[in-house]
Every structure is written in structure tokens, then in C-alpha cells.
Amino acid sequence: MTTKAQSYLTHFRNIGIAAHIDAGKTTTTERILYYTGRTHNIGEVHDGAATMDWMEQERERGITITAAATTAKWKRSGTDQEYVVNIIDTPGHVDFTIEVERSMRVLDGAVAVFDSSQGVEPQSETVWRQADRYGVPRIAFSNKMDKTGASFELVLSDIRERLGAIPAPIQYPMGQENEFKGIIDIVRMQAHTYTNDLGTDIVVGEVPAEFADKVAEMRSQLIEAAAEVDEDLMMKYLEGEEPSVEELVAAIRKGTVEKRIFPVLCGSALKNKGVQLLLDAVIDYLPSPLEVPAIRGKVEDSEETVEFPADPDGKLAALAFKIMADPYVGRLTFVRIYSGTMQSGSYVMNASKDKRERVGRLLKMHANSREEVTELKAGELGAVIGLKDSGTGNTLIGDGDDAVLLESIDVPEPVIKL
Ligand code: GDP
């Protein structure tokens, strides 16, 4: 049961973006930051276009555009509900397998980006298997629909055949390669077309007749996938009855979290198409911190384990997952808070090193600004300034609490570069 203190967590999504190199992870991330920053004046930037310019400049200078965890806000289209989307940087390269595994620990769901002209490539397969090991729910974004050779069907069949998963096509492209002009929402049976280059002007209309057959085929695939997890829906389907949008969304969401069902979307990050719908899908189909199993910790010198449900009023349990050197403030320790609340100026115990540490300042990192906060609560991610001895993978608990180590990250066999 969700308590009042935990209720903010239903509007949180902690996600990673995983991809084979060159599939478009950077471009997709940039666009996500652009669209989320656009509606929420972040820092000094009051105009969306400036965010994009800033990101392009940074890129030219070779600076990483994202922090280990970037906090963005997104208002689900068609609603007034605002969500916090924390984007956790997932190293895409197999060389960083250990880092990939570590980041898998701190996210609750992931977006797998595929190049639709290439289908599922070897590195994507590797990252996908790692996500499987951690039971990370995923949605797939079939990117580069505008590129020569692009094929949404290829991505669907590769997901089925190479990854052994059930694809749930929640979208279909209106045209492929240089004919690509918009996206059909198969759940709501609507067509989205774009009337400006930034993708901010969207016209929602009926599904054009030329796509009717294909859309009907995709919708059957989608309902069959959803019926895998929902018996009522299965009965309806067999009786030829159409499920409602809400029923369909709920079943696919359940399948994403509990079964190997992956909603598949399409778009072109480069051409600014599909990324806002992708953000909506993150909200609709990926879990909040309350919907994933609570992290477990091992009590020191015993075989006993304890659970830390996501609760700001619980005992503090946090994981340091990345250390970054910052030219202005020095050492930044990125943490995910699983349970409890971390206060600036307080003391915590590093249970991995048996050392008491002082939390200096706390920061939330946004696309192009940092926000100083007085606390980080369960489900949140941010950076701590002031921790001297805490390293990557260390468990932080409350000062004076019984020593507990969060589930260790088991390091796999080295992976040969593909
Ligand atoms: P990453 O290695 O996965 O981070 O990929 P990038 O985002 O750096 O993209 C790799 C290349 O693909 C760049 O040249 C991008 O401009 C290009 N690219 C990314 N998204 C798209 C897209 O939607 N369509 C096309 N045609 N090219 C894209």
C-alpha cells in the first residue's frame, strides 16, 4: 500500500537510455532534454531553442552533455500531470560492462534505442541481456525512421527472433525512409504529423486510409501481446471485442514490468519526430520506484537480509554509483536514494568502508543547470559534494544505523568487444 508520504513517487520515472553505438542515443537524449527543458524554464534558459543551441555547442567542444543523472520534468501530453524523469547515463559501450551493470542497479526502467536500418545490433543484444539479468523493464525506440533502409518491421522481427522477447507495436510509422512524415498511435488509433522542423507543432488526426491495413495488423499484434498478461483482455479479444485505451495501456504496462513484453515505438530523433511521444510512453509503460521490487541489503556479519521499500520516512539506504570530478566544486558523488532522506550538512555512514562521512551540499543536476537542495528523498537521484572516501558501488546508510550492504553488483565475465 502506498502511504501519503510515498505518493510523490507515482510521478517519478528513473530511466536509462541504452543503445548500440551510433544508433542515436546522444541525439535522442539531447531531444529529450530539449523537449523537457522547453516547458520548464531550466536555469537561465527561457526559450527552448536556446537549450538546443547550448547542447550543440557543448557537443562541439566535446563536453559530455549529461551528468551521471539528469533530472528533467515532463507533463504527460493531454494531461496536467507533471512527472519527474531522471535520466541515468548508461554507458553504451561493451567495454564498460561493469559500469553498465552498475547503472542497471540504479534505474527502474530503460529505453532501448535501435537504428531501424540496422535492426538489433550485437552491442544492443549485450546490453539487453544485462538488463534481463536485472529484470529492467524496457520500451524500444526504433530510431532513424527517415534513413535509407529504415524498416520498423525489421526491428519488430529482430526483437522477437534475436532477443526472444514479445514486441508490442504501440506505434507505426507513416512512411519510412525519406517518406517518413509522422507516427500512428496504435493504442489510440490516431495519426500524429508535424508542421514545424522542431517537432513542437503536432497535428493529431485520423489514421489515413493508406495505412489502414498495416495498422490493423499491428493492432492485432499489440492486442495479442497485451492478452498474454491479461485474461479478461484475452477473452474480449477472442470474442472479437475491442479493449478500451485504458485497458490496453494497463495490460501492456503490466506486461512490461512482469513479462518480456516490450512496447515498440518509432521516430527520428534527428528530424525531431517521435521523441515527445517517447516521453509519454516512458510515463505510460515504465514503472515508478514503487512498482519495482524493493532493494535488499545484507546485514553485516550475518546471513540476514533486509528490504528497503521506497519510503522517504524509512531508514536511509543509498548507493553511490558514480564519482565525477567537477572543476568548480571538486568531487561529486552521484547517489540514488532507495529509502529514507539524505539531508545536506548531515552525517552518514559508508557501510562498505565502515567510515562516517559528512554530507556537504546536495545537488540535482538539470540539463544545463544545477539546483542546490537541502534533501534528497527516496527514489531521487542527485550529487553529493563533500564525501571524501565514498567510492562507486558503496552503500550509504544513516549515522548510527546497523551496518547493511546493498545487494552487491556481481561483476560478469569480461565481454569481448564485438
Ligand atoms: P550514439 O552513438 O548512439 O550516441 O549516436 P548519435 O546520437 O551520436 O548518432 C549517431 C549518428 O546518427 C549521428 O550522425 C546522428 O546525426 C545520426 N542520427 C541520430 N538519430 C538519427 C535519426 O533519427 N535519423 C538519421 N538519419 N540519423 C540520425
Cα–Cα distance for residue pair 248/233, rounded to 1 Å: 8
How far does residue 27's CA lie from ligand 1's centre (Å)? 6
| pLDDT digit string (tens) for the chain, length 418 residues | 889 999 999 999 999 998 888 899 989 998 998 899 865 443 344 444 555 555 566 555 444 455 789 999 999 999 999 999 999 987 655 555 666 677 778 999 999 999 999 999 887 787 788 788 888 999 999 999 999 999 999 999 999 999 989 999 999 999 999 999 999 999 999 999 999 988 888 999 999 999 999 999 999 999 999 998 999 999 988 898 999 999 999 999 999 988 889 999 999 999 999 999 999 999 999 999 999 989 999 998 888 999 999 999 999 999 999 898 888 888 999 999 999 999 999 999 999 999 999 999 999 998 878 899 999 999 999 999 999 999 888 999 999 999 999 976 544 433 333 3
The ligand 1 atom at the shortest distance from the C-alpha of residue 21 is 2
Q: For 220, what's the count of Cα atoms within 13 Å in the CB-facing half-sphere?
A: 7
- Nearest-CA residue for ligand 1 atom 14 is 22
Phi, psi of 207 (to 5 degrees): -70, 120
- Nearest-CA residue for ligand 1 atom 26 is 147
Cα–Cα distance for residue pair 264/266, rounded to 1 Å: 7
Tell whether the torsion through CA atoms of 326, 322, 279 and 362 is positive or negative.
Answer: negative
ipTM confidence = 0.99
How far does residue 416's CA lie from ligand 1's centre (Å)? 25
Choice from 17, 20, 21, 22 to test ligand 1 binding pocket (greatest atom count within 8 A of CB): 22
Tell whether the torsion through CA atoms of 371, 377, 382 and 384 is positive or negative.
Answer: positive
Cα–Cα distance for residue pair 357/65, rounded to 1 Å: 30
How far does residue 79's CA lie from ligand 1's centre (Å)? 31
Query: Which of 315, 307, 308 is CA-nearest to residue 402?
Result: 315
Q: Is the CB of 199 under 6 A from ligand 1?
A: no
Cα–Cα distance for residue pair 150/117, rounded to 1 Å: 4
